[in-house]
Structure 1
């Protein structure tokens, strides 16, 4: 059974609150899930798994399909880092160089797939 889609108005409001102020955990959770949803929609595929524990994970990007066990291409990070990447406040190169993300596998790279949402400043 597919997950319910987060509506754009609800998702954008949650992202705005999560990156601009001391957000509640529910806002952060919704913001992360919404931006992961956008990533999966804009970069369809199953070759890379992006994890933002404890809020969510998606498979994305075209390429070899993974079906069982631990995926060979995984990116994992905290919610703050993901929201910075998802909104364009941090580049993939900056995040990777800072050690803010754990990436393993040849295809563990989000260059060209983020940001998924730009907020007005």
Structure 2
């Protein structure tokens, strides 16, 4: 299977900047679905590149899920380490506007399994907005 093209950091930054005002103020109009999907998918692919492996599955429905983090791999069924959150929370984490442990504690992120902690790899990109 051919490998995917690595995410261009400028492409990721551009996608994040498009949704940035909404991340800063959730009262603003939600970005268009395609814009939100691009930011989520590019940021998840970046995580996948930074933390290669198949130990943790990170889900951001309805847009994408990736497997990452080195360690014991799962091959069938539900993985033992799963992280799931909504698109806005994921992008807040990816940009450093939210703390992973706090998001889990507040219930904004569901994290199950002994390796379901992304603190080491977050934020993926910092923005000025």
Q: TM-score, normalised by structure 2?
A: 0.86
Aligned to 2:20: 19
Q: Secondary structure at the match of 1:112?
A: helix
Structure 1, 1-10 or 28-37: larger mean CA deviation: 1-10
Asked if the contact 1:19/1:83 (under 8 Å) is kept, the reply is no
Asked if the contact 2:95/2:123 (under 8 Å) is kept, the reply is yes
Gaps of 5+ in 2: 23-28
- Matched residue count: 121
Structure 1, 101-110 or 20-29: larger mean CA deviation: 20-29
CA RMSD of aligned residues (A): 1.5
Deviation at 1:42, TM superposition (A): 0.5
CA distance in 1: counterparts of 2:12 and 2:116, whole angstroms: 26
Q: Does 1:47 align with 2:48?
A: no
Aligned to 2:123: 115
Aligned to 2:70: 62
Asked if the contact 1:18/1:28 (under 8 Å) is kept, the reply is yes
Distance 1:8-1:40 versus aligned 2 partners, 3 A rule: same
1:7-61 Cα distance to aligned partner (Å, 9 max, x none): 4333321111112244211110000001001100011111000000010011111
CA distance in 2: counterparts of 1:57 and 1:19, whole angstroms: 22
